[in-house]
Structure 1
Amino acid sequence: MNGPVVVGVGASSSSLAAVEAAAWEAERRGVGLRLAHAVAWPSDPVAPGVPPWDPDGAGLRASAGGALAEAERHARRVSPQLPITSEVLVGEPGTVLESQSRAASLTVVGGRRQGRFGGLPFGSVAGRLTAQGRCPVLVVRGRTGRSGPVVLASDGASPAARAAAEFAFAEAAQRTAELVVLHTRAHGRDGAALVAELRRTYPDVVVRHRRIRGRNRPVVIGASAGAQLAVVGVPTHTGLTDTLTGSLGRALLHHAPCTVAVVPSGAPKH
């Protein structure tokens, strides 16, 4: 897909880290970067011709403009020649970004650990973005280096698992990174067959399997500690919280100390 990379812009350090990650993703995909800054609906009516996000004509305009200007500066540090557009949009961040993601190749958000995204309750932004299966969502937090393996949570060969596996293999190939496949006994023959199929498509990707026994959280944290990316899948047209591909996917999204890609089963091919 040739749509832009869309990134949610705020004032937090996690937002600026997301902008830098989004700029790098846009550059390597050969597409533009779109900066989206969301503001709340005004509580009082505004005069005709006045932007609804700036009824006073100064305060919010300066704040939004400052946030977008700072975001563009950070993006330019990563890719000076990158085509960048920006827009102030009225509405709840998850709703605004979901709308913007419809024509995007990737949507990027800053995220905090412990089940929160950009300071919002778990699932409110990433869940809204993945629910309609528009495009993969990159949740940037923790380690943001470009070395280390790509980690995939695999639960078999469901449509969500296939979409996540295809995305993970493509990312590993493009990043020249090793792919670590985490799976449990439930992974089964179908999951092994899917990995074998994709190894034929990406013969240069080195794949390591890691079977998870016992408690997922400490093992997942250890497996992803030095990773540059973790990948999980989610069925389309559902919420995020309870429908990630198995307990491994949930453990990665909650606890992985690195950037996490959430891939809807209905997302366009990577």
Structure 2
Amino acid sequence: MTRPVVVGIDDIEHSARAVAAGAREARLRGAPLWLAHAYHWIPPVVAGVMPGGDTPEGAVRDAATALLAQAVARTHAEFPDLDIHDYAMSGHPGPCLADLAQDAALLVVGGRGRGGFTGLLLGSTALSTVAHTRCPVLVVRGGPDTETGTETGTETEIDIETEAPSDPPATTNRVLVGADVLPPATGPDVISFAFEEAALHASDLRAVHAWEDPGYLYPVAIGGYPSVTLDQLNAECQRRLDALLDPWREKYPDTYVETQVLAGPPSKLLVDSTRTADLLVIGALRHPSGKGVHLGGLGHALLHHSQCPVVIVPEG
């Protein structure tokens, strides 16, 4: 059975782009599309029932079911060829979505939800989902043509009647993968996912390794590396990066691969690189328990400031 693509839905307005992205990924993979919404309710101080004899939890569940039915209908209209299923789950979104998608090919969430504030760079649901994920998770955010408005982090209203969510944003036809060549080096799960995405989208692949030059941090104390030494260090990193990618270059001979080694602050250099990419792929170490990942400082910086959608791939 082909593994599904799962999309977490907040509401129709704020989830349109995530649903469209998930539908495109499902169509490329020939996979079923699962639309999921997690709901939770707070019991009333005084026990009672809703009009008509329903319970408060039942009313919330019915509203969630109606929301999903509307999302399924809209998605079928845009992608009539897809096999679409819907799931209403009781609980907090992050853990619920991660549990449902534990064996999925991809879990998709929006970068912002209905509860965000103006200037908020990433929603709490997206962060929670990433923290609990056991499969690759795509956070749909970044760039001028997203739910955050004309500038990253600026909230605007979206007219869902005039929006065309099935149309992808303007593309650069490039998948970007952040690769670490120093121990612990980026693992095969991350590299394999990046090559697969590039092949599915008929895109080029750029692999970037950014390393911190101590002279950049402490120029007064030690000064920068001499240019000859810096060239040698860059050449060694380049050799390791090529060795890391070689097995997948052979497996995907039709994918054009570009590599780049940069010396300086990794978070800034990688964020800058996302301005000319359609997708960024990075890894995150799995927790020893196998449930969820540890998203370090670099991962947080990229999720908050990337100018394109980001995929977090569990590894290790």
Partner of 1:128: 132
Q: What's the counterpart of residue 226 of structure 1?
A: 276
CA distance in 2, matches of 1:46, 1:213: 62
**Greater CA drift, 59-68 or 220-229:** 59-68
Whether 1:235 aligns to 2:285 is yes
Deviation (angstroms), 1:203: 1.3
Give the CA deviation at 1:28. 1.2
Larger radius of gyration: 2
Q: How far does residue 46 in structure 1 lie from its aligned partner after superposition?
A: 8.5
**Structure 1's 103 and 198: CA in aligned 2 closer, same or farther, altered over 3 A?**
closer
Other-structure match for 1:263: 313
The aligned runs of 1:140-219 (5 Å cut-off) are 140-143=140-143, 145=169, 147-148=171-172, 149-156=174-181, 158=184, 160-185=186-211, 188=237, 189-219=239-269
Shift of 1:97: 0.5
Counterparts of 1:5-84 in structure 2, within 5 Å, are: 5-11=5-11, 13-43=13-43, 55-56=55-56, 59-84=59-84
Unaligned runs of 5+ in 2: 113-118, 144-167, 213-235
- Looking at structure 2, the residues matched to 203 and 7 of structure 1 have their Cα atoms a distance apart, in angstroms, of 31
Contact 1:114/1:255, CA 8 A, preserved across alignment: no
Over aligned residue pairs, what C-alpha RMSD do you find? 3.0
User: CA 1:159–1:211 in 2, change beyond 3 Å: closer, same or farther?
Assistant: closer
Q: Tell me by how many angstroms 1:256 deviates.
A: 1.2
- Per-residue deviation, 1:191: 3.4
**Secondary structure in structure 2 of the residue aligned to 1:196:** helix
Name the count of aligned residue pairs: 252
Contact 2:11-2:67 at 8 Å conserved across structures: yes
> CA offset at residue 176 of structure 1?
1.1
Q: Describe the SS at the equivalent of 1:168.
A: helix
**Aligned residue runs from structure 1 range 85-96, under 5 A:** 85-96=85-96
- Report which stretch shifted further, 26-35 or 73-82: 73-82
1:100 alignment counterpart: 100
C-alpha separation in 1, matches of 2:194 and 2:245: 11
Separation of aligned partners in 2, 1:46 and 1:32: 41
Instruction: Provide the secondary structure at the position in 2 that maps to 1:231.
Output: strand
Tell whether the 8 Å contact from 1:147 to 1:228 is kept in structure 2 after alignment.
Answer: yes
In structure 2, how many angstroms separate the alpha carbons of the residues matched to 1:241 and 1:265?
A: 10
Contact kept? 2:131, 2:295, Cα under 8 Å? no
TM-score, with normalisation over the residues of structure 2? 0.69
CA contact (8 A) 2:94 2:126 kept: no
Q: Unmatched 5+ residue regions in structure 1?
A: none
Q: CA deviation at 1:217?
A: 4.3
Structure 2 counterpart of 1:138, one-letter code: L
> C-alpha displacement at 1:123, in angstroms?
3.0
Which residue type is aligned with residue 94 of structure 2? G
| Worse-superposed segment, 173-182 or 9-18 | 9-18
Q: 1:7-52 CA distances to partner (integer Å, 9 max, x unpaired)?
A: 11111644221111111111111111111111114425989xx9xx
Structure 1 residue 60, shift from structure 2 partner:
2.2
Return the alpha-carbon distance in structure 1 between the equivalents of residues 270 and 176 of structure 2. 9
CA positional deviation for 1:262: 0.7
Distance 1:102-1:13 versus aligned 2 partners, 3 A rule? same
How high is the sequence identity, in percent, across the aligned residues? Answer: 35
Structure 1 residue 78: Cα displacement: 3.6
Does the CA-based 8 Å contact 1:216-1:251 persist in structure 2?
no
> Residue 74 and residue 161 in structure 1: after superposition, are their counterparts in 2 closer, same or farther (change >3 A)?
farther
- The alignment partner of 2:82 has SS state of coil
Q: 1:71 to 1:46 in 2, by over 3 A?
A: farther
